[in-house]
Structure 1
């Protein structure tokens, strides 16, 4: 029905609306009911899951065919097929493999293939260009977004997943530039390899791994490989620093929870600002605002430097004795929020300098003042994190919120430091 949208035009919503009505009010028993019923549907005697899925597709179909709105038909079809065939792939993997990672891989793989084929079919019917590399990239992005959302939502929330994927792909269609076959192939291979390594080494949970690889894919699509490599430096070095002498840190009470595996909240707390910066950069590039583009480049570099600096200062500094509270410089027990050691501070500065060097080499604004500004942003973010830890963390803010504010401070500090230079 999704593939019929180009032929149906403004009536593309009608088949989905009909299915929603049949599922909600007509089909309450028999073979069709058993085919589509989920456990909760049998209790209610109604195909709520199918009805919700069809209603979500109805809404996206309207957005794709209303003249003044016009979501791209390819984005509409990709959103529907990612979830439909992703669910199928996940169920098939679940029936044969008792491994959460492989089940998620089944969802992402099936959704990616179906969405790519669906976009090609729509382009063929409408006579529009059919860039396979771009369609594959968009499908991969949609499949990862859907897989991540499904780790946080219940199965009955599939309609929300489909609508969210549709809007994400719509935004990508507007902001992303041309995507080459090489860019698509390398980006997918890179995200798969790094994602599996993070999950296998225990540096990220399944949801955290999906969040990380999704951020990398967005960075590649909207910025380029240089942006992704800067992010990878934080994910990889930060993850290894967390696992470094983990047992010893656990004995001291300063180790990360869950065996050091970082979840979605932790990944987003450290990377949400950089994600916004990448999207902002793409938007300003589309509008041709060079100054705005430069400011977002600096914000990205400063936020990643702050995340790296804070992570290394905490993970390395936690191995040493005699920490002092940053606000009073009085000795405090290891693991105290806001407690710092000189070894940790040095490690944080080195981490910030590493990101600044990578930003100088890999990001579009490759000047000495920009690199210095990124270094300043990283150290400022690390300091803000310690100050918040000593004052409000625990009583008013959680660790993830503190990480977000620290990376935001790093982004702003990099911009402020660069302007007079």
Structure 2
């Protein structure tokens, strides 16, 4: 057994202290705080120090990693005491176990391979079952009937969030992961309520399969794959398969477009980095507005919003994704052709110049907008049933406004003041906003 595996096992054992939460409540913070204090001030050598020490800890002469983990767990445990709507004990337990046992799974996987995909698989294979088991124990201790669909859903969501953060952050950032997983899972649980088991199983199978395919084809890296899976599960559970169909159309077609004639794009110096594989920032920049719309739709089930809000949300979702796919196809196809023109002045510029357009790229963008428009009209509640044609036109108009905004921002302020991802987000926000405005006026 390597030292990394032993250390991860020790952290996993500390995480199991969370199982006292259904009995001790907020007092669970006490042992974790004691661990934090001891790690930060008392333990500076000996076998315990060697067991928990990370490389940086040895340099500093204190167990920073264990101290941070203990204090973060203690802080999260204090939320169990909030009046009326405190943090549920099962979410607290799941957050700690998914990280502690997940890290152990990662280290075991790393003893066999350095492949980052297998490291993530090891994390999820360890963390998700541990979170399920922890929630089961909480239910038994509380004498409650275990709602397996909710238990599995929270374990999957917590596992995906933790795996994504572990992929992006440093090992010493475990406290950030613990707090993020706990708070995010709490928020999602508030929105979701009861999850039909069949729908949940289908959501997990479909999104994991498609995420694996995207990674295998090279259209997403590990962080992009995890982000896509997380968004997919949330979209299916919070919105439904109709919403997911629109989202996955963007992911699939956009991903394939980035790989289309990649060698030629690379030779021209206009190819996406990482061999066209999309990362987390790219995924969120293009689908962040859509995710917010899905969350708003789920929240609407709880608070019964005004009719105008219920009308607006699906159009924000569809208009933003019409922009995202239209912009992706316009860029990925248009960069293959010579003699592009800057959208603001129509002067000829080199291929790949920010804000440059070609008629071939614009045509491809319109095709992408049309695909999303048609699919959204068929699967989403876009206004009255007799206004299908108008609804499709509204989504298409939003998409056109969005890709035009992207080009204008690219030609004017991208690079010096705005990065590409922020430009993409602004464009999708514009596409969703224009669609909403037109829907309010015309429907």
Sort the TM-score into its range (normalised by shorter chain).
over 0.9
Kindly state the Cα deviation for residue 372 of structure 1 after the two structures are TM-superposed.
2.2
Matches of 2:29 and 2:379, distance apart in 1: 45
Q: How many residues align?
A: 421
2:344 is paired with a residue whose SS is coil
1:395 matched to 2:416: yes
The residue correspondences of 1:359-370 to structure 2 (distance < 5 A) are: 359-365=376-382, 367=385, 368=388, 369-370=390-391
Match of 2:58 among 42, 59, 62: 42
**Structure 1 stretch displaced more, 86-95 or 321-330:** 321-330
Task: Identify the residue that residue 108 of structure 1 maps to in structure 2.
Answer: 124
Matches of 2:437 and 2:78, distance apart in 1: 44
Matches of 2:194 and 2:398, distance apart in 1: 32
1:327 matched to 2:344: yes
The residue correspondences of 1:132-147 to structure 2 (distance < 5 A) are: 132-147=148-163
The residue correspondences of 1:158-197 to structure 2 (distance < 5 A) are: 158-197=174-213
1:86 matched to 2:102: yes
**Structure 1 stretch displaced more, 287-296 or 132-141:** 287-296
Matches of 2:25 and 2:167, distance apart in 1: 34
The residue correspondences of 1:263-278 to structure 2 (distance < 5 A) are: 263-278=279-294
CA deviation string 1:287-324 (max 9, x = no partner): 01143233121111111110000001111112222212
1:221 matched to 2:221: no
* Runs of 5+ unmatched residues, structure 2: 1-16
Matches of 1:56 and 1:10, distance apart in 2: 13
The residue correspondences of 1:11-160 to structure 2 (distance < 5 A) are: 11-160=27-176
Contact 2:311/2:440 (<8 A) preserved: no
Kindly state the Cα deviation for residue 253 of structure 1 after the two structures are TM-superposed.
2.3
Matches of 2:28 and 2:411, distance apart in 1: 57
Task: Identify the residue that residue 10 of structure 2 maps to in structure 1.
Answer: none
CA RMSD of aligned residues (A): 1.5
CA deviation string 1:55-100 (max 9, x = no partner): 1111111101232550111111111111111111111111122211
TM-score, structure 1 length as denominator?
0.96
The residue correspondences of 1:353-364 to structure 2 (distance < 5 A) are: 353-364=370-381
2:418 is paired with a residue whose SS is coil
The residue correspondences of 1:177-326 to structure 2 (distance < 5 A) are: 177-289=193-305, 290-326=307-343
2:441 is paired with a residue whose SS is coil
Kindly state the Cα deviation for residue 30 of structure 1 after the two structures are TM-superposed.
2.2
Matches of 1:31 and 1:240, distance apart in 2: 52
Match of 2:359 among 320, 334, 342: 342
Contact 1:12/1:65 (<8 A) preserved: no
Matches of 1:59 and 1:245, distance apart in 2: 51
Matches of 2:18 and 2:375, distance apart in 1: 44
Task: Identify the residue that residue 371 of structure 1 maps to in structure 2.
Answer: 392
CA deviation string 1:388-408 (max 9, x = no partner): 111111222111111011000
Contact 2:219/2:259 (<8 A) preserved: yes
Matches of 1:350 and 1:224, distance apart in 2: 25
Matches of 1:158 and 1:323, distance apart in 2: 47
Matches of 1:10 and 1:391, distance apart in 2: 53
Contact 2:311/2:439 (<8 A) preserved: no
